[in-house]
């Protein structure tokens, strides 16, 4: 069955370190998205991609970057982790309409 996976599921890091969160989907979807979820804010879009080599900034993109070298993967990199980036991160993919979400990565920046 097609799926979307994220790794790691939990990560603790220190401020200033570079961190990369992986997202892999086997739906063969062109569209992929990264969100962060914080209490009271719902899901906020960080970056998104509509296809290979396409990346776009979302509403909270500062301090984050993504790259899309193939259809299946959209890794999210925190260039220099900050405590404000402690959050739960969800990756999602879609073809038309409905978005399929991964299980999430809980990131703690100390």
- Assess contact for 66 and 74: CB atoms under 8 A: yes
Tokens for 81, please give them: 């982790």
Contact pattern for another protein over residues 28 through 67, marking x by CB under 8 A: ---x-x-x----xxxxxx--x-x-------xx--------
**Smallest gap, in angstroms, from Cβ of residue 10 to another protein?**
12
Distant-in-sequence contacts of 62-66, Cβ < 8 A, 24+ apart: 64/34, 66/34
Tell which positions 1-30 bind another protein, by CB under 8 A: none
Which of residues 21, 23, 87, 90 is near another protein by CB under 8 A? 90
């Amino acid at each position: 069955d097609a799926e979307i996976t994220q790794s790691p599921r939990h990560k603790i890091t220190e401020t200033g370190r570079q961190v990369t969160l992986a997202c892999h989907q086997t739906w063969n979807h062109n569209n992929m998205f990264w969100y962060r979820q914080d209490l009271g804010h719902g899901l906020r879009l960080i970056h998104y991609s509509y296809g290979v080599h396409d990346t776009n900034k979302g509403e909270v993109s500062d301090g984050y970057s993504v790259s899309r070298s193939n259809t299946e993967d959209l890794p999210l990199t925190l260039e220099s982790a900050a405590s404000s980036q402690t959050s739960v991160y969800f990756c999602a993919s879609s073809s038309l309409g409905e978005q399929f979400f991964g299980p999430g990565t809980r990131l703690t920046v100390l």
